[in-house]
Amino acid sequence: MKVKLIAETVYVGDGKSMYDYDIETVVEAVGRVSSGTVGKLGDSDPRDFVDRRLADGHVGLLEHAVFTFMVSGITRATATQIVRHRMGSYVQKSLRYTEHDGEFRCPQSIVDKGLYAMYYSSARGAFMIYESLLEAGVPKEDARMVLPLGTLTDIAITMNARSLLHFFDMRIAKDAQWEIRSLAKKMLVILSDEMRLFDDYLEKSKLENEDVWNGD
């Protein structure tokens, strides 16, 4: 699985280079609209402003900070879980327009039970049927029906910071499915370098869920 942050909200309000600001500047800018203090933007560290507003319960401000990830090599089973988070926006590699390459992932629990050969036979057999259907002229959108959930796919994910916090609450939990938990951890580690909010969340998560962070 590969996870890459490709875009985030940037502040360009005064015409300076977008690289001159942290993403918290965007959150501070919209937050100051409410109090009529936009003129004070830049007077202090925007991260401190964000911390104060969050402490007051104004979490809605985080919806103005948006991030986009490119994720490759996850199973379709996990992609199905991801898109259940309705506040995100997604684009997944289509098997209506592309042909699957036959790659799949086997859960470690199956390997541990000594059943990898059976799993491989099933997955490989399904892909061979898929290829045969395509060769027979069956449309890709119909041939794909035979492929198992363990086949790999790519997906683009866009979420705001508030939704990401909820995503991490749900998907880094001990009872989360192992693959989506691994994805969530990778995303959080990346975001910890982008926004202090996520760096604080990461440190708290490591303290409260030590077993999770020492695992996959």
Q: Tell me what pLDDT residue 47 has.
A: 87
Q: What is the pLDDT of residues 115-138, one digit of tens each?
A: 999 999 999 999 999 999 999 999
Residue 18 has pLDDT above 60, yes or no: no
| Domains of the chain by start residue, with CATH | 2-70+154-213 (3.30.1360.170), 99-146 (no CATH)
Q: CA torsion, points 19, 22, 24, 25, in degrees to nearest 10?
A: -50
What is the value of pTM for the model shown?
0.91
pLDDT > 70: percent of the chain = 96
Q: What is the mean pLDDT of residues 11-27?
A: 74
Residue 21 has pLDDT above 80, yes or no: no
At 16, the pLDDT band (50, 70, 90 cuts) reads low
Going by the DSSP 8-state scheme, the letter that residue 15 receives in this structure is S
151 φ, ψ (degrees, to nearest 5):
-70, 150
Please indicate whether residue 171 is annotated as part of the active site: yes
Q: What is the mean pLDDT of the chain?
A: 91
40-77 confidence digits (pLDDT tens): 887 888 889 888 988 888 899 999 999 999 999 999 99
Nearest Cα neighbor of 180 from 136, 216, 142, 127 is 216
Q: Which DSSP helix (H) or strand (E) runs through 14? A: none
Contact in structure between 152 and 73 (CB atoms under 8 Å): yes
The span from the CA of 189 to the CA of 192, in Å, is 5
DSSP H or E run through 109: helix 108-112
Instruction: Give me the amino acid identity at 184.
Output: A
- Rounded CA separation 95/134 (Å): 12
Mean pLDDT of the region 79-105: 95
* Annotated catalytic residue, options 47, 76, 171, 181: 171
In this prediction, residue 20 carries a pLDDT of: 61
pLDDT confidence of residue 120: 96
Most confident of 6-20, 147-161, 191-205: 147-161
All residues at 6 or more sequence positions from 174 whose CB lies less than 8 Å from its CB, including other chains: 209, 211, 212
